[in-house]
Structures are given as structure tokens and as C-alpha cells.
Homo-oligomer: A and B are copies of this chain.
């Protein structure tokens, strides 16, 4: 039976990428050696890092003056590094949008380094919408938002462009899924393990000129400038994760790039949300205008149907759609590599449930 992997992350990757990654673990570049047993400074692996960087720059249309870095520690370490690198040592201030669990974790770490003002907050409705219409006070070092909230199934559709401070975005769960104008941001970061590759690498896209302005003495690893100066080779990078990222970016390019995948992602989201809205046995949890194209969260209107519904989708080969404990119900994550066909299989299970229980 075909697997339909809706896992929230680490998540589905293209089958061809998995095949190539598997092969490279045995024999990389026809060297007769594994990808994971050669020096990260060998010309073959340096070429991997360079190609991955070039593909990301090309696919996202990253302007000159920005660096693309491959780090470790995930968004969780970026919560710390962003504040350390961008908040002034004396009187540092930053504005954060609070859209749920991950935004809160970012806020918690930033507070250790300066004053945090929450400028938009959707906690009043369990984060089922994206705050809008707020203003950002003067004197901020930067504004921070989370572009997509996996747990609540919300996504920023129109990014705020702060007029008088830097613009920072955690794009962990929707980077490369849609067109964004990188020039509107000063720093973008993302754990790679959704649309870009496997767990173990963090991607940071940073405008070079914004760094070095805080007055802080930064530990080497935690200073973005260190990694810019060393082309992400300050220390041994996460070799396998970067290689799989390269393959995934090549897959994206070969298929038509971000505009192509944005279209497919829209088709998948339309198919599923249309069914959620049509089928009386289901209801969505997020405000319609803020619904995420990556993670669709929905509930049964009758909890008694949980057992038969779970049996139906499991029988169809669907996995990974249990909702996060803070929202309940179901969460279907539809990252780039998930085929439209998988969404059709899930929708079919929803329609079967309706047929059996109308």
C-alpha cells in the first residue's frame, strides 16, 4: 500500500531525493567512499555546500548583500542567536508578534537580552488567527514574526514591513513553499526539516550589513559573522543534512521552482479546505483568511466518529495527521513534497466517513 505521509516535521521528502541520499551513504560521487566518511573540507563536499547555497539564492531570488548560512541547533538556537546578534547590549529592544508556541519560545529567549514588546497577540482565541493592524513602537532594534504556525494551522499572508527597525522572520515551517520578497527582510531563519531537507541543519539568510552593531562580545559559534567569514565551515557542518538539502533544492528547481510548488501547495490546500468546509462532519479551527497552506487543522463535529474516521484514513495508508495536543483533532501537514494525490486520498476518507454516517 502506498504511504501518504502528512507528518508535521521532520516530514515527507521527494522519493527521488531519498533514493539519491541512500545511494550517497554507500558511494558518494563515485569516490568509492560514503558521503558521511569523507572530510567536510574535501573538494567534493565543499562543492555540495557551494551548490546548496547557490540553489537557495537562485530559487528564492536572494539579492546581493545577503549571506546564506548552514548552522545547527534549529530554530531553538536561532531564538537565542537572533537576540544576541541584533539586540543592542545597552537598552536593547525588540517587537515580537505572538502567534503561539514557537513565537513564545522566541520571546522567552529574547527577554534575556533586552526588552521585548509584544505587538500583536492572538492568544485570546487559542492562536487561531494572525494579529493584524498593530503598530510597532519607535526605538526597536527589530521586529520578529513567525510566518507559519504549525500547531494552530495559521499563516501570515501579508507580512508586516516595519518602517524603522530590522525585520526578522522565523520561516521554519513554510520557507520555500511560496514566493517571498527576501529584500523585505533583514534576517530569515528556518530549521531545514520541513520543506528543505532532513533534521540537523538550520538555514539563516542574513543581510550582511546589519551585523556587528550591538556592542556585545559574542561567542564565536553564536556570532553570525563567524559563519559568514568561514563560508559555513567554521566547524564541521552537518554533512548529510546539507547534502539532502542540496538534492531537495535541485528537485524543486527541476520541477519549476517556488512558483511551481506554490501553485501545487495552493491546489492541495484548496482541495482539503474545500472538503473541511463542505463536509458537515468536519470543521476547521483557524480563521479562514489566515489558514495555513502547510498545516490544515480540523476537528470532527461529532467526537464519537473518531474511531471510524481513524480506521478509514489508516486503512488508506495515511499517517501523521493526529493534531497537536494543544488544539486536538487533526492536523494535515502538506509540505512541498506531499503529492496532491495524498490529499485526495485523505479527502476520500473524509467523504467515506460522511457516506457511512450521514
On whether the beta carbons of B238 and A199 are closer than 8 Å, the reply is yes
Which B residues are CB-close (under 8 A) to A198?
Answer: 36-37, 239-240
Which B residues are CB-close (under 8 A) to A200?
Answer: 72, 200-201, 238-241
What per-residue 1/0 map shows which CB atoms of A1-43 lie under 8 Å from chain B?
A: 1010101111111000011011101100001111011111000
**Segment at the B interface, from A54-62, A129-137, A217-225, A258-266:** A217-225
On whether the beta carbons of B11 and A235 are closer than 8 Å, the reply is no
Chain A stretch 244-278: residues in CB contact (< 8 A) with chain B: 244
**How distant is the Cα of A77 from the Cα of B13 in the complex, in angstroms?**
29
**How distant is the Cα of A235 from the Cα of B36 in the complex, in angstroms?**
23
A342 within 8 A of B: no
* Cβ of A191 to closest chain B Cβ, rounded Å: 6
Nearest CB to that of A219 among chain B residues?
B80
- Number of identical monomers bound together in the oligomeric complex: 2
On whether the beta carbons of A7 and B80 are closer than 8 Å, the reply is no
**How distant is the Cα of A188 from the Cα of B182 in the complex, in angstroms?**
42
**How distant is the Cα of A7 from the Cα of B198 in the complex, in angstroms?**
25
* Cβ of A198 to closest chain B Cβ, rounded Å: 4
**How distant is the Cα of A80 from the Cα of B73 in the complex, in angstroms?**
14
On whether the beta carbons of A199 and B10 are closer than 8 Å, the reply is no
Q: How large is the interface on A (under 10, 10 to 19, 20 to 34, 35 or more residues)?
A: 35 or more
A193 within 8 A of B: yes
On whether the beta carbons of A7 and B38 are closer than 8 Å, the reply is yes
**How distant is the Cα of A26 from the Cα of B21 in the complex, in angstroms?**
9
A108 within 8 A of B: yes
On whether the beta carbons of B19 and A222 are closer than 8 Å, the reply is no
On whether the beta carbons of A18 and B36 are closer than 8 Å, the reply is yes
A112 within 8 A of B: yes
Which B residues are CB-close (under 8 A) to A39?
Answer: 7-10, 320
A74 within 8 A of B: yes
A109 within 8 A of B: yes
On whether the beta carbons of B220 and A76 are closer than 8 Å, the reply is yes
A326 within 8 A of B: no
* Cβ of A126 to closest chain B Cβ, rounded Å: 21
What per-residue 1/0 map shows which CB atoms of A94-129 lie under 8 Å from chain B?
A: 000000000001001100100000000000000000
5 contacts between A and B (CB under 8 A): A22-B26, A37-B198, A72-B238, A74-B235, A77-B221
- List the 8 closest pairs (A to B, CB-CB), nearest first: A200-B238, A72-B72, A36-B198, A76-B235, A22-B25, A80-B219, A199-B239, A74-B235
